[in-house]
């Protein structure tokens, strides 16, 4: 999945990582936006062999966008603002 | 008097405004960093917040609400970023979680304005990255300036289908198709009732006309077949009203069939629920003013039955007035009550125009996933009727046997579809199979070593 | 309304009641099982799912041994093993005194033929490197394990029905009578049932049935406070308990971790009411702290659901099992005090033996209903 940035692209850039790979994002992005607009592709693997997930409701209800951030623990990507230097792992 | 208001969407803002006006300073809690609810969610500060661009026809209403929100925050005990994960209506306590810390809020009276989420019918392929709810697609655009893809298909029914497609097209996304599961004739039949809300009706017609005028592919009365793709979304297939299979290439799909209340706190508080056949939702019981049968608890906004943002604002104010009345204040409510009654009639027409496609959920193929959290197929749920244990005559037994609704979302997403699948299999009504009972926590909370 | 006549009436469709219906039906008895709510709706369905023998009151061990034998052939008996898995049960000590307790129990286990192995101070952290430093020793029962309580009673009920038993759910008995030969039961909806034999397997509500026959016992409701987490990598194989029992946890291969400890709150209600029970937030948080002390890696794992249900607790923490002291043909088995899930299958078998053979090999003397001082 790749989110398409349609407006408000003149924001301050910031950088974080997903599974060690660099992700370029913008200030004001949620983690979900940062990772999925930045080429991360997906956020977690379904635990029961049912495929990759990349969130669904984007409003903190469906619980399908959990990721882990070093130092923060597990968070919902849709409800967490991206910060420079965040080290994110999937699931 | 200790008053708590849960939620800072349209209902919560207007409830708090009324309370502050009567000299009561409520504890005011929202899970998000800012108020506004889902509909008037403001982007994080680094993004532009031009109301006209973000809210279109609703810009003036959004600006008014934001002004009220910002004025009320410093006067209330405002607690953003705070999840209310449990309520104990006997002890009159809310359990909260903020930045990993547990808390307890005591109340004498509380107004629950917990909002709504998209109501979804599973479609084969709906768990693929690139598929979001209609609301999710709108949040991506409004709050993050992003489309959920470059070439987006929208599937569902209801006012949001046309609005979101319009917003995406205006923002420069390619619209692969707008697929409405409701037949044109159904909407036409409801049109006279919709004229009770002429402004809303006209806006709806405007979006449809605009999309048609821009040559966007539109199909009504469709039966979705599948969202195609292996790693990512590559297309969507459906059967058109004439029975032909159609497809469109796309890299993302927004799905939604109206809204359902986020009423978990009302449930945990012990408020009884009734099945509202018109909106095809279980709704917590309340009177027209928002009083629940549980002493000290009031309900307002979409969390107490879907009414939309305009109703939510009025209902929020009305519930706060009911609270004040019950506390001995004299409050004049006749005009407000008349407006709420009028809007309820319009709402009824809207529900008739966009009925929930129960047959689509009931007919989900056996091998299609219906529960995202537990990775369960429709066939696995149907097997609870014939499997190795006694039959599941209602939804909670089916949950116990199949795990449907036992995942992280507690059945928020799959609950309506699970009920339809089970009802169809049992040959009874969806009201008869019941609803998934709420269990704390309302949303996941971490195991922690320190309190 | 005509009275439904059968040979054995059973009240309470928990694990014991369903097992009794099954065992009796398999031997040809005409059985009717009446359940106020749903099959397995209370203690049998909401408990932790421990299939544990170690640590039990010695009086219960003969029943637990018999039940363990039935658990081993559950698939043949009930059509499903209800996720019964022999993971072993590891009971942990966090202090020297608790360790002494484990050592003392080794003799009890030996007397009852229960395999049990002490895991000492050095070995415990080698064998189970994910245990926290507070753990000082453990004892491991390799034959123990766990099962899914949500599936067990419904599976036994289905098997009983297939064997010819009649089961009525949502059928609350509101009146009990005995005319010297037959029991006559009237339900809330007005139905009437009669039989020469009545089995009281009604959990907490069993106390009310006993009272109806003039043998009230000091039973109180007991509500386990249960927690389950989201699925995480599977790493905790054994079912874990502690001396004193203030926390217990297990992980299922799907990854969820089930944690119990402390008690919720409830109202069993009066006849006609719907009982309620629910966990208590502070108890949940306390169980979380105790669980993290055992397995530090649990910190930060998300709780996704909590629940409770109603069991009956006796003052001496062992159930009432055996014939009534007042009424011929009435047999009790209730008040399992929070640890009846493992025993349920054997209780059903024992009840069938008492009814059809007039005897059982299992010593039931410690469980006699007359052991309490007469309640007012």
**Residue C376 pLDDT level (bands cut at 50, 70, 90):** very low
Instruction: Kindly write down the DSSP assignment for every residue of C154-218, as one continuous string.
Output: HHHHHHHHHTT-EEESS--EEEEEE-SS-EEEEETTS-EEEESEEEE--GGGHHHHHHHTT----
What are the φ and ψ backbone dihedral angles of B84, each rounded to 5 degrees?
A: -90, 110
Each residue of C72-123: pLDDT tens digit? 999 999 999 999 999 999 999 999 999 999 999 999 999 999 999 999 999 9
Pick from A7, A54, A62: which is nearest to B409 by CB? Answer: A62
**Is the Cβ pair C255, A74 closer than 8 Å?**
no
Of C155, C288, C302, the CB nearest to B444: C302
Q: Which of B108-122, B372-386, C250-264, C315-329 has the weakest average pLDDT?
A: B372-386
Does B389 contact C167 at a Cβ distance shorter than 8 Å?
A: no
CA distance C125 to C29: 53
- Best mutation site among B264, B388, B434 for testing chain C: the one with the most C CBs within 10 Å? B388
Asked if the Cβ–Cβ distance from A48 to C254 is below 8 Å, we say: yes
What span, in angstroms and rounded, lies between the C-alpha atoms of B408 and B163? 30
Closest alpha carbon within chain C to A47: C231
Map residue B51 onto helix, strand or coil: helix
Model's pTM, two decimal places?
A: 0.95
| Structure confidence by residue, pLDDT tens digits, B344-392 | 888 888 888 888 999 999 999 999 999 999 999 999 999 988 877 777 7
* Cβ within 8 Å, pair C300-A74: yes
C175-207 pLDDT tens trace: 999 999 999 999 999 999 999 999 999 999 999
Model pLDDT for residues A58-88, shown as the tens digit of each residue: 999 999 999 999 999 999 999 999 999 999 9
Residue-averaged pLDDT of chain C: 96
- C231 close to A (CB below 8 A): yes
pLDDT of residue C370: 96
B208 within 8 A of B162, measured Cβ to Cβ: yes
CB-based contact, A50 to chain C, within 8 Å: no
Say yes or no: C233 contacts chain A, CB-CB below 8 A: no
Buried b or exposed e, range C91-130, using 16+ CB within 10 angstroms = bbbbeeebbebbeebeebbeebebebeebeeeebeeebee
Structure confidence at residue C272 as a pLDDT band (50, 70, 90): confident
Phi, psi (deg, nearest 5) at residue B60: -65, -40
Q: What percent of chain B has pLDDT over 70?
A: 100
Report chain B residues whose CB lies below 8 A from the CB of C21.
Answer: none
The 10s digit of each residue's pLDDT in B52-68 is 888 888 999 999 999 99
At C291-320, the pLDDT tens digits run: 999 999 999 999 999 999 999 999 999 999
Interface of A with B in 13-42 (CB under 8 A): 26-30, 33, 36-37, 41-42
> How far, in Å, CA of B168 to CA of B373, rounded?
29
Mean pLDDT estimate for chain B: 94
pLDDT at residue A53, rounded to an integer: 97
Verify whether the Cβ–Cβ distance C255 to A47 is below 8 Å.
Answer: yes
What DSSP character marks residue A30? B
Q: What pLDDT does residue B64 have?
A: 97
A73 at C interface, C-beta within 8 A: yes
Test the A interface: residue of B48, B52, B145, B263 with most A CBs within 10 Å: B145
Q: What is the mean pLDDT of residues B127-141?
A: 97
Contact (Cβ atoms closer than 8 angstroms) between residue B58 and residue B138: no
Give, to the nearest 10 degrees, the angle between helix C61-71 and helix C344-356: 100
| Across A7-29, average pLDDT | 97
- With CA atoms as reference, report the closest residue to B250 among B238, B268, B232: B232
Q: Measured on CA atoms in the order B164, B165, B167, B168, is the torsion positive or negative? A: positive
Q: What is the C-alpha to C-alpha distance for residues B407 and C244, in angstroms, rounded to an integer?
A: 31
**How much is the pLDDT for C1?**
63
ipTM score for this prediction: 0.97
CB–CB contacts below 8 A, A to B: 151
**Banded pLDDT at B34 (limits 50, 70, 90):** very high
pLDDT of residue C51: 98
Residue A66 with chain B: CB contacts under 8 Å: 408
Q: How far is CA C251 from CA B286, C44, C146, in A?
A: 41, 19, 10
Give residue C279's Cα distance to chain centre: 18
Task: Find chain A residues with C-beta within 8 A of C300's C-beta.
Answer: 73-74
Mean pLDDT throughout C286-290? 97
Q: Is the pLDDT of residue B393 over 90?
A: no
| Interface check C303 vs A, CB under 8 A | no
| Domains, in order of start, for chain A | 13-90 (3.10.20.440)
Which residue does chain A place closest to C298, by CA atoms? A73
Mean pLDDT calculated for residue range C130-139: 98
* Token pair listed for C235: 């790493």
Cβ contact C288–B388 (<8 Å): no
All residues at 6 or more sequence positions from B30 whose CB lies less than 8 Å from its CB, including other chains = B6, B7, B8, B12, B79, B80, B81, B82
Q: At residue C30, does pLDDT exceed 90?
A: yes
The verdict on B226 touching A (C-beta cutoff 8 Å) is: no
pLDDT at C266: 96
Q: Which tens digits make up the pLDDT trace of B165-223?
A: 999 999 999 999 999 999 988 887 877 777 777 777 788 889 999 999 999 999 999 99
Residue of A nearest to B234 (CA): A1
Helix, strand, coil abundance in chain A, percent, nearest 5: 10, 35, 55
| Percent of chain C whose predicted confidence (pLDDT) is above 90 | 97
Between β-strands C224-229 and C173-178, what pairing exists: parallel, antiparallel or unpaired? unpaired
Confidence at C2, pLDDT banded by 50, 70, 90 = confident
CB atoms inside a 10 Å sphere around CB C186: 16
Q: Hey, what domains does chain B have and what are their CATH numbers?
A: 3-117+260-351 (3.50.50.60), 120-257 (3.50.50.60), 359-433 (1.10.10.1100)
Cis amide linkage into residue B441, ω under 30° from 0: yes
- What are B262-303's pLDDT values in tens digits? 999 999 999 999 999 999 999 999 999 999 999 999 999 999
Model pLDDT for residues A44-56, shown as the tens digit of each residue: 999 999 999 999 9
Stretch B240-267: mean pLDDT: 97
> For position B220, what pLDDT does the model report?
95
């Amino acid at each position: 999945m790749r989110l398409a940035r349609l407006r408000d692209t003149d924001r301050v850039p910031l950088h974080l990582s997903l599974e060690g790979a660099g992700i370029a994002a913008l200030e004001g992005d949620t983690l979900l936006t940062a990772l999925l607009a930045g080429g991360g592709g997906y956020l977690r693997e379904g635990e029961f062999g049912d495929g990759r997930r990349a969130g669904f409701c984007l409003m903190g209800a469906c619980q399908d966008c959990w990721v882990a951030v070093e130092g923060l623990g597990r968070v919902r990507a849709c409800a967490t603002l991206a910060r420079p230097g965040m080290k994110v792992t999937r699931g | 008097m200790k008053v708590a208001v849960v939620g800072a969407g349209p209902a919560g803002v207007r409830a708090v405004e009324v309370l502050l006006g009567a000299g009561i300073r409520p504890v005011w809690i929202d899970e998000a960093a800012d108020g506004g609810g889902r509909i008037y969610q403001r982007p994080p500060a680094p993004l532009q917040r031009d109301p006209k661009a973000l809210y279109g026809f609703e810009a003036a209403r959004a600006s008014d609400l934001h002004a009220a929100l910002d004025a009320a925050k410093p006067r209330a005990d405002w607690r953003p970023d705070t999840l209310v994960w449990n309520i104990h209506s006997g002890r009159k306590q809310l359990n909260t979680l903020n930045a990993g810390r547990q808390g307890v809020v005591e109340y004498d009276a509380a107004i629950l304005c917990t909002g709504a989420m998209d109501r979804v019918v599973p479609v084969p392929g709906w768990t693929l990255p690139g598929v979001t709810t209609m609301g999710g697609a709108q949040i991506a655009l409004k709050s993050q300036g992003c489309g959920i893809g470059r070439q987006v298909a929208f599937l569902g029914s209801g006012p949001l289908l046309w609005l979101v497609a319009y917003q995406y097209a205006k923002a420069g996304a390619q619209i692969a198709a707008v697929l409405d599961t409701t037949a044109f004739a159904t909407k036409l039949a409801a049109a006279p009732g919709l004229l009770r809300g002429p402004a809303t009706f006209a806006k709806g017609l405007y979006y449809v006309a605009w999309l048609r005028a821009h040559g966007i592919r539109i199909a009504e009365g469709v039966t979705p077949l599948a969202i195609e793709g292996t790693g990512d979304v590559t297309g969507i297939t459906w059967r058109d009203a004439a029975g032909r299979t159609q497809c469109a290439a796309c890299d993302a799909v927004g799905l939604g069939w109206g809204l359902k209340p986020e009423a978990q706190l009302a449930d945990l508080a012990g408020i009884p629920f009734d099945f509202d056949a018109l909106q095809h939702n279980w709704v917590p019981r309340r009177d027209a003013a928002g009083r629940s049968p549980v002493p000290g608890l009031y309900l307002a906004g979409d969390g107490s039955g879907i009414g939309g943002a305009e109703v939510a604002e009025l209902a929020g104010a009305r519930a706060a007035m009911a609270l004040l009345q019950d506390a001995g204040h004299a409050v004049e409510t006749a005009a407000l009550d008349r407006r709420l009654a009028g809007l309820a009639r319009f709402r009824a027409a809207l529900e008739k125009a966009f009925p929930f496609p129960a047959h689509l959920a009931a007919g989900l193929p056996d091998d299609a996933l219906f529960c995202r959290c537990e990775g369960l197929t429709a066939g696995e749920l149907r097997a609870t009727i014939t499997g190795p244990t006694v039959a599941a005559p209602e939804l909670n037994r089916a949950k116990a046997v199949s795990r449907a609704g036992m995942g992280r979302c507690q059945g928020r997403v799959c609950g309506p579809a699970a009920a339809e699948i089970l009802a169809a299999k049992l040959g009874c009504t969806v009201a008869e199979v019941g609803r998934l009972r709420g269990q704390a926590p309302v949303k996941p909370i971490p195991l922690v070593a320190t309190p | 309304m005509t009275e439904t006549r059968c040979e054995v009436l059973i009240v309470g469709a928990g694990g014991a009641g369903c097992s009794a219906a099954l065992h009796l039906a398999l031997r040809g008895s005409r059985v009717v099982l009446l359940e106020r709510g749903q099959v397995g709706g209370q203690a049998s369905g909401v408990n932790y799912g421990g299939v544990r023998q170690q640590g039990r009151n010695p009086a219960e061990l003969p029943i637990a041994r018999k039940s363990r034998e039935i658990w081993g052939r559950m698939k043949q008996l009930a059509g499903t093993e209800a996720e019964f898995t022999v993971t072993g049960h590891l009971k942990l000590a966090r202090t020297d005194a608790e360790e002494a307790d484990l050592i003392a129990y080794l003799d009890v286990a030996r007397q009852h033929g229960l395999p049990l192995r002490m895991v000492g101070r050095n070995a415990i952290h080698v064998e189970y490197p994910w245990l926290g430093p507070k753990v000082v020793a453990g004892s491991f029962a390799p034959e123990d394990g766990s099962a899914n309580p949500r599936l067990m009673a419904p599976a036994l009920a289905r098997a009983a029905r297939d064997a010819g038993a009649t089961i009525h759910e949502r059928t609350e008995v509101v009146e009990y009578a005995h005319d010297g030969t037959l029991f006559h039961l009237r339900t809330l909806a007005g139905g009437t049932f009669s039989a020469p034999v009545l089995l009281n397997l009604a959990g907490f509500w069993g106390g009310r049935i006993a009272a109806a026959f003039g043998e009230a016992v000091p039973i109180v409701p007991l509500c386990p406070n249960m927690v389950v987490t989201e699925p995480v990598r599977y790493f905790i194989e054994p079912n874990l308990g502690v001396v004193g029992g203030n926390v217990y946890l297990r992980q299922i291969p799907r990854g969820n971790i089930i944690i119990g400890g402390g008690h919720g709150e409830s109202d069993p209600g009066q006849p006609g009411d719907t009982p309620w029970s629910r966990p208590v937030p502070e108890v949940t948080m306390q169980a979380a702290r105790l669980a993290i002390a055992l397995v530090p890696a649990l910190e930060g794992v998300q709780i996704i659901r909590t629940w409770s249900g109603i069991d009956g607790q006796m003052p001496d923490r062992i159930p009432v099992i055996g014939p009534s002291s007042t009424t011929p043909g009435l047999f009790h088995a209730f008040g399992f005090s929070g640890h009846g899930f493992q025993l349920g299958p054997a209780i059903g078998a024992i009840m069938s033996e008492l009814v059809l053979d007039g005897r059982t090999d299992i010593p039931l003397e410690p469980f006699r209903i007359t052991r309490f001082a007469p309640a007012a």
